[in-house]
Structure 1
């Protein structure tokens, strides 16, 4: 994925040393339309990343001074050409450290949000940034492609928040907790 210019400039000064960066994850959900069969489930918009071939929600690094919800909107527009509206906070948590092929080490403080599409949401309307995205599509939340557990978790959180907003509490941390006896 394209490295933001401010990170390129930082790396000139600090080399591959670990960085903490703010990130945003946009979990874009399409709810079941009114009158749909009881067996119908929401769909989630996922992208297949060009850098590693993994399926994920839309993600991105916050620019300096940029709020995470603004990052989510910007990244959806840049990566797949869709306009989105941020509906709800799903959680905040640390991700990483991640070591990239060039030796850079980064950890992220990620803010995950449930979002909806504004306007046309058909795959034919997507305008993919081929430097960042190989493909994009809508998937039933019951039949998503293989992806990292963290992403499955926040897609589930997005559906839970959509269905029962009054009882939903944003997740604080993505770390798997051990069960106690």
Structure 2
């Protein structure tokens, strides 16, 4: 008969290959690194990126995705190996197909002529709050500012002279009031 104080055996969690403290940095690094390394090794083994056809590039990216997904699946447990390999293979293939299409489209476009510098494009944009000024326009703006400043100074001088007159009048009234 079983002892009433005995407890049922505990189920242990499956062993992990990487300690949990490292998982946030190690998982992405291993998955990404394994994908890049495997793609580079495959491309070099097949003669270099310049010699590969679009189909071979898709195959190399699919293989790299498979290795990367398998690596990620191994770290998460045996049940995740096949789904990880499938999803990452599909991602590698679709990504390379999209890149191939983009590169073909870019190759069909005529080569752009010399482009003006970024600062020129920003300054000439209608949305930019800044604009390029010629020397003459800058001198004209500065002369207008000097003229406004001189007008303000003249108004202040008039105000000062008015205040001085009022002070003199007040002083004269005060002196006449004292004499009375």
Q: Provide the TM-score with structure 2 as the length reference.
A: 0.19
Structure with greater strand share of residues: 1
> Larger Cα Rg: Structure 1 or Structure 2?
2
Structure with greater helix share of residues: 2
Q: Provide the TM-score with structure 1 as the length reference.
A: 0.19
